[in-house]
Chains A and B, each alone.
Chain A
Amino acid sequence: MGSYVLRRVLQMIPVFFGATLLIFLMVYTLPGDPIAAMYGDKAADPATVANLRHKFYLDQPVWKQYLHYMGNVLTLDFGTSFTGRPVSEIMADAFPVTIRLALVAFFFEIVIGLTLGLVSGLKRGSIGDTLVLVLTLVVISIPVFVLGYIAQTVFAINLGWVTATVQDSTDITQLILPGLVLASLSLAYVARLTRTSLGENLRADYIRTATAKGLPRRTIVGRHLLRNSLIPVVTFLGTDLGALMGGAIVTEGIFNIQGVGNILYKAINQKEGPTVVGVVTILVIVYLVASLVVDLLYAVLDPRIRYA
């Protein structure tokens, strides 16, 4: 087990370098000159532009820029944004916000998604099952921004139950609506995945055996059925936590949440290399760690899986 984890952690190192290099090159190849763009419609002043390019290390060839950047990252210096703020400070502001939002969404995803999945999976063909199928189909087919604007208009502007945008991201109650919107798509997948998985396992031999032994239904469902059925769901949930953090750009925009998605969107627009690379690198690490945790959870759920 220990050596397995160590091996996985070591594998992260090349992935980390590869990912940063790719992202760095992608930002570099974005068209246009970020410094000249600071001048807007006005003509840029060449002397100041040359100075600024030098200041942000943009006057060097790309490989030198990358080495310079990586050298700094290893000392935990993620560079400075055009506003003069250290990128590490920007990330320290944005990540907690996004983590809170992602956790709220994750909570809804598990609680509502699993409940709906159980309701429909255990009683296939019932009205409840059909209702869940229709509901999840609707959610899956509507793009998240449509859902977001509808929710905002109805609950904030028409009914006035919540504020239209998030005024204070440390207030969890304000994150409920954006969290639900963000979770909606994954929630539908979780419900459907749970339903299918339950359906398959309900017909399995060990369930029939357990029923024949006369075990109470509660034990059959709780100990045998759920535990075996959750493996695909846990895989999905694990990778989805990463997706919730990095993929919240649309939701964060609608509800004006100043999280990672917003930072990333602005930085890409301004072609602000250090911020983009820094944020995406952290997101890559989140993905890697999440998938490691998922793999380890398999062993907990299914005793047949062992890591040497």
Chain B
Amino acid sequence: MPAATRTRWAVIGATSVALVATGCGSSGDGGGSSDAGKTFSYQSSEPQNPLQPANANEVGGGRIIQNLFKGLVDYDPANGQLRNQVADKIDSSDAQTFNVTLKSGWTFHDGTPVKAKNFVDAWNWAATTTNNQINSSWFGDIQGYADVHPKSGAPAKTTMSGLTVVDDTHFTIKLTSKVSYFPYKLGYIAFSPLPDSFFADPTAAGQKPVGNGPYQFVSWDHNSQVVTKTFANYQGVDKPKNGGVVFKMYTTSEAAYADLQSNNLDVMDQVPPSALANYKNDLGDRAIDSPQGAIQNIGFTLYQPEWAGANKAKVRQGLSMAIDRSTITKTVLQGSRMPASAWVAEGVEGYKAGTCGDFCTFNADKAKQLITEGGGVPGNKLLITYNADGGHKEWVDAVCNSIRQSTGVDCVGDPKTDFKTSRAAITGHTINGAFRTGWVQDYPLNANFLADVYKTGAASNDFGYSSPQFDQLANTADQADSITASATGYQSAEAVLAQDFPAIPLWYYRTNSGYSTKVQNVEFDSFGNPAWTQVEVKG
């Protein structure tokens, strides 16, 4: 309904007005003065792995790491654009060899300087199989990765031939093939530098990390909190306006929300589903509702013969049109999602609204027609596999109801006990028909939503989707001269998805959060992270 849309935008409007006001009045009496020495607390969860940069791919560890370490580049929280941090510049003439120049003056928290070798050593260490780093595949583009990380067995080498240290402030990265947007990947925490002391005892360093980021590690009281404080010699463009971040561990977000309401917690990660309906009333202008670079899809088992073939794309397009996205996002999902009109999430570099076209607009008659033209859903029955532990049941049921009512296809949800069981079923190809899938950006660029999911044989291509046309357009985009050209190239690859429809885009995620009365200037980026260093603690 338009009225509801207006309300939502109005709230965002109100938030930004408030932010502008505090920005102006930070030295005056209006928004309250801030104390740069005070810390604020953030809702976190116990890291699942030791605090090593390439070993954190869950939010608990990842958010702590990104504050303790800073890589060559990062993404501007305001617009998601790439900006230089430790890097002075990253040049390439052929999109395959990148020459990195570092700024001088950066040091680790232990006082040792950040040199080119700290990057090269860190990446080599993280890529080597024997070090068991969860994010090691991030280095897969670099020449020599196969030597340190063979498909199985022990690695032949411990250094990648593609990384060469020129001097203290220069090094080169040579890739196996052209990847024009490679600098975007470098903003990921796995590409952080490591101090020399790390390599002496990586296990100990994982418990007491020494980084080069805006905050330095103070203590890790397991299952309770990780305390950090501002690093005085931080050289980045985002100098902290507060004294540090305290990551408080919560098992349930309900408990965190109760703490937020009684001012024992300053910034939330995400409000619990039970509070979605009321949190804007509870928090007033301290409520946050901002876009996130994440999308929810329904994928199809294209590797099954009954779902292969060009005709079945029509069936999938029809099913997509049978889903009333705007009603479901407003009712069942309580406005915490935004209907999707493309396969790339809103706000990401290269995002183009409407790639999906009419197929993402609810139209029951057209849906029935397309499904009939495509020869119908096999057995007139659609199973949507999902994990029962992620709060997906409600919307899967709603999607199925929508499909059943508008097309008569017998659609039912197929819950698997938990996330890992459903993942095992999906990757093991033991499911039938359709499954819930999604993508959260690794970096805010459309290539990440497309190349990593829909390319033939891509690591997260669970559909068995293989389109020569898509692959060719994606490869061309990879070899483009600039990031902008590459993003445009990927837009044309995305258009192929509208024809083949390997997955139905449903909606984009939003950050529904809030903050206490003790802090101000809290804004969230498209990763769902607050702009940590910008948070001001009231004096």
- Interface residue ranges, A against B (CB under 8 Å): 31-34, 36-43, 45-48, 50-52, 55, 82-85, 90, 93-94, 149, 152-153, 156-157, 160, 163-165, 167, 252-256, 258, 262-263, 265-266, 269-271
Q: Would B427 and A165 count as touching, CB distance under 8 A?
A: no
B14 at the interface (CB under 8 A from A): no
3 tightest A-B CB contacts, nearest first: A32-B420, A37-B420, A43-B459
* Interface contact B255-A42, CB-CB below 8 Å: no
Residue of A nearest to B47 (CB): A83
Interface string of B228-260 (1 = CB under 8 A from A): 000000000000000000000111101110110
- Rounded to whole angstroms, the CA-CA distance of A130 and B259 in the bound complex is 38
Residues in A neighbouring B46, C-beta threshold 8 A: 83, 266
- Cα-based distance from A52 to B46 in the complex (angstroms): 20
**15 A-B contacts (beta carbon < 8 Å):** A32-B417, A32-B419, A38-B57, A40-B57, A51-B130, A82-B49, A84-B50, A85-B222, A152-B258, A163-B259, A163-B262, A164-B261, A165-B255, A253-B251, A266-B46
Query: Please, which residues of chain A bring their CB within 8 A of the CB of B136?
Result: 45, 48
The answer to whether A256 and B459 have CB atoms under 8 Å apart is no
Q: Which residue of B lies closest to A47 (CB)?
A: B129
Among B144-152, B211-219, B331-339, which stretch is in contact with chain A? B144-152
Q: Which of B251, B259, B264, B419 has the most CB of A within 10 A?
A: B251
With a cutoff of 8 Å between Cβ atoms, the chain B residues found around residue A270 in the complex are 48
> Are B258 and A153 closer than 8 Å at their CB atoms?
yes
The A-B contact count (CB < 8 A) is: 138
Task: Tell whether B224 is near chain A: CB-to-CB under 8 Å.
Answer: yes
Min distance, Cβ B253 to any Cβ of chain A, angstroms: 10
Q: How many residues of B contact A (CB 8 A)?
A: 52
Which partner residue on chain A sits nearest B416 by CB separation?
A31
**Which residues 188-211 of B sit at the A interface, judged by CB distance below 8 A?**
203, 206-207
Are A93 and B223 CB-contacts (below 8 A) given A36-B424, A84-B50? yes
In angstroms, Cα B10 to Cα A243, docked, is 50
Q: List the A side residues contacting B57 at CB < 8 Å.
A: 38-40, 42
| Contact assessment for B459 and A38 in the assembled complex, using a CB-CB cutoff below 8 Å | no
Chain B residues in 8 Å Cβ range of A84? 49-50, 203, 206-207
B438 at the interface (CB under 8 A from A): yes
CA distance A55 to B55 in the complex (A): 15
**Contact partners of A157 in chain B: CB under 8 A:** 258, 261-262
A177: min CB distance to chain B, Å: 12
A269 — which chain B residues lie within 8 A by C-beta? 389, 418
| Contact status A165-B251, CB under 8 Å | no
Distance between Cα atoms of A263 and B249 in the complex (Å): 12
Task: Pick the most buried of A163, A164, A265: most chain B CB atoms within 10 A of its CB.
Answer: A164
CA distance A34 to B419 in the complex (A): 10
Q: Which residue of B lies closest to A90 (CB)?
A: B222
* Chain B residues, CB < 8 A from A31: 416-418, 420-421, 424
Q: Which residues of A contact B249 (CB under 8 A)?
A: 258
* Chain B residue, CB-CB nearest to A168: B224
Report the separation of the CA atoms of residues A149 and B421 in the bound assembly, to the nearest whole angstrom.
31
Q: Is B423 in contact with A32, judged by CB distance below 8 angstroms?
A: yes
Distance, CA A180 to CA B172, complexed state (A): 63
Interface status of B290 (Cβ within 8 A of chain A): no
Assess whether B81 is interfacial by the CB under 8 Å rule.
no
A contact residues around B439 at 8 Å (CB): 41
- Specify which chain B residues have a CB less than 8 angstroms from the CB of A255 in the assembled complex: 255
Kindly list chain A residues whose C-beta atoms are within 8 Å of the C-beta of B207: 84
Q: With both chains docked as a complex, state the minimum distance between the C-beta of B449 and any C-beta of chain A, in angstroms.
A: 12
Q: Is B133 an interface residue (CB 8 A)?
A: yes
> Whole-angstrom distance between the alpha carbons of A33 and B420 in the complex?
6
Q: What residues of chain B lie closer than 8 Å to A252, measured between beta carbons?
A: 251
15 more A-B contacts (CB under 8 A) besides A160-B262, A253-B254, A256-B255?
A: A31-B420, A32-B423, A32-B424, A36-B420, A38-B134, A41-B460, A48-B137, A82-B48, A90-B223, A94-B223, A157-B258, A157-B262, A165-B255, A255-B255, A266-B46
Q: Give CA–CA (A158, B23) in the complex, Å.
A: 31
Nearest B residue (CB) for A166 = B255
**Smallest CB–CB gap between A144 and chain B, Å?**
14
Chain B nearest CB: distance from A82 CB in Å? Answer: 6
Flag if A256 contacts B252 (CB, 8 Å): yes
